[in-house]
Structure 1
């Protein structure tokens, strides 16, 4: 049985590339006798000469060409294997907004063993973080039109108008509508459009920069809010006066990203 050391194979490939033991030793940072010894060891292990030594250096033999061909494939496979293994143990960095973190990722994280790092920021900040390679993925309702970024997945979400299950009487002319201060938030945009279309007052809109507090305020009958359908639980019910509106949840990565996307994120 032949036992090949990866380091010996890499030294052999460098000698074959340089057609010179001395030049290969220089590029590898080894002393020349060490390189000669490793090549000789490989030849002894295989039982055939791989090079002819001459005044100009070395000339590869047919057996050496076979080793060179398979050696390159083997080194490539080893590097691929290393990349796969490292991507499995590397923490995947995700950037998203409050509503997606709460209504989509919270459950995903709880049901899976994969550890991910989470950034909750505005869409403009998320785009910069992804462009600067500080995070691996952005999950957002927003559309990014940037050459260095690509969309890898998309799913649908409905915007619905929620009230407390205990709130019986709804008068849209006097109700308080809770929204985020983020101007790019689709739920804020939809709320403001709804206010305009139904001749309601801007003074009915109250800004709160916390989804959890908005949910708590709606649950305690302090007002109503347009929110993702995934927010609906036994504390709330849908106000039927407003038809659901479908929006996209978009998943973006950098074009040059080499990290494997955790399956649970897009399954």
Structure 2
């Protein structure tokens, strides 16, 4: 017996005729007759009474009809559940640094939500060390951070290389002269910011250890302060070119070692991934 046998059985009962059941099931009468005969042999009982005018369910046929409807219902529910399971849905918490939040998240949201509309994406902006800890401690599903990552608990997927540039005001002294001012002012995010660490490393390489940090918590604030001549900063060149090319800023290239930043996507190793996280990782 298979489910198609039961559908034929129900068609005969509904139409009161083997001929009409065959028409309804797009088959031949001989097939309907054979299927019903097989069911009766399997259950060891007559399922229909046959007369010259019509066929009708016996008491055994009535019993099978109830089970047949239950089986059909269960099959439909199974199809719904399997279809639902095959769809990518759920919630993802993704971390990133401030510049990624401003520069990349809109594109990520657009591309991912178009492909997987049933997944809710939640983004959180933090310092690099906090992002790494939150992924390790299951507070985030994944995070975009700068390489290198030296944690045996994390997988990392290379995303892109970015070129960092020194930012200075467009009007005023040249960068070389600005670096001689006492005290030199730098416009940065708080401790733990990868850009701040690169800028401080660049200054130390030039023998500049005396400087004053003006700490801000927004990308727009850093741009405004540098433009106003309150200090220098460091940010990705692509970010400046795409969003701040019209601002009164000068950019200065760095050497490859300090000026190149690799961004990676990190997520936990050896932990079963949700379908949503797998889809997010596979997008890259």
CA RMSD of aligned residues (A): 3.7
Residue 160 in structure 1 maps to residue 161 in structure 2? no
> 1:213 aligned to 187, 196, 221, which one?
221
Secondary structure of 1:159's counterpart equals strand
Deviation at 1:131, TM superposition (A): 2.5
Deviation at 1:218, TM superposition (A): 1.3
Which residue number in structure 2 is paired with residue 225 of structure 1?
233
Q: Which has the larger radius of gyration?
A: 2
Deviation at 1:165, TM superposition (A): 3.6
Residue 196 in structure 1 maps to residue 210 in structure 2? no
Question: Which runs of no fewer than 5 residues in structure 1 stay unpaired?
Answer: 6-43, 51-74
Q: Output the TM-score relative to the length of structure 2.
A: 0.57
Q: Output the TM-score relative to the length of structure 1.
A: 0.60
Residue 82 in structure 1 maps to residue 84 in structure 2? yes
**Structure 1 stretch 221-230 or stretch 201-210: which is displaced more?**
201-210
Residue 257 in structure 1 maps to residue 273 in structure 2? yes
The verdict on how the C-alpha distance between 1:237 and 1:128 changes in structure 2, with shifts beyond 3 A counting, is: same
Which residue number in structure 2 is paired with residue 131 of structure 1?
136
Secondary structure of 2:123's counterpart equals strand
Deviation at 1:154, TM superposition (A): 2.6
Secondary structure of 1:138's counterpart equals strand
In the alignment, is the contact (CA less than 8 A) between 1:94 and 1:136 conserved in 2?
yes
Which residue number in structure 1 is paired with residue 96 of structure 2?
96
- Partners in 2 of 1:238 and 1:110 — Cα distance? 30
Secondary structure of 1:260's counterpart equals helix
In the alignment, is the contact (CA less than 8 A) between 2:128 and 2:194 conserved in 1?
no
Residue pairs, 1:25-44, within 5 angstroms: none
- Partners in 2 of 1:151 and 1:80 — Cα distance? 32
Describe the superposition over 1:170-200 as per-residue Cα deviations: whole angstroms up to 9, x where unpaired. 32212522222223x3221221122222222
Secondary structure of 1:217's counterpart equals helix
Q: How many equivalent residue pairs?
A: 201
- Partners in 1 of 2:82 and 2:150 — Cα distance? 31
- Partners in 1 of 2:110 and 2:91 — Cα distance? 16
Residue 182 in structure 1 maps to residue 187 in structure 2? no
In the alignment, is the contact (CA less than 8 A) between 1:179 and 1:207 conserved in 2?
yes
Deviation at 1:112, TM superposition (A): 6.3
Describe the superposition over 1:239-265 as per-residue Cα deviations: whole angstroms up to 9, x where unpaired. 25x445111101012232123345699
Which residue number in structure 2 is paired with residue 109 of structure 1?
109
Which residue number in structure 1 is paired with residue 180 of structure 2?
173
- Partners in 2 of 1:125 and 1:207 — Cα distance? 18
- Partners in 2 of 1:253 and 1:163 — Cα distance? 36
Question: Which runs of no fewer than 5 residues in structure 2 stay unpaired?
Answer: 7-35, 44-76, 115-119
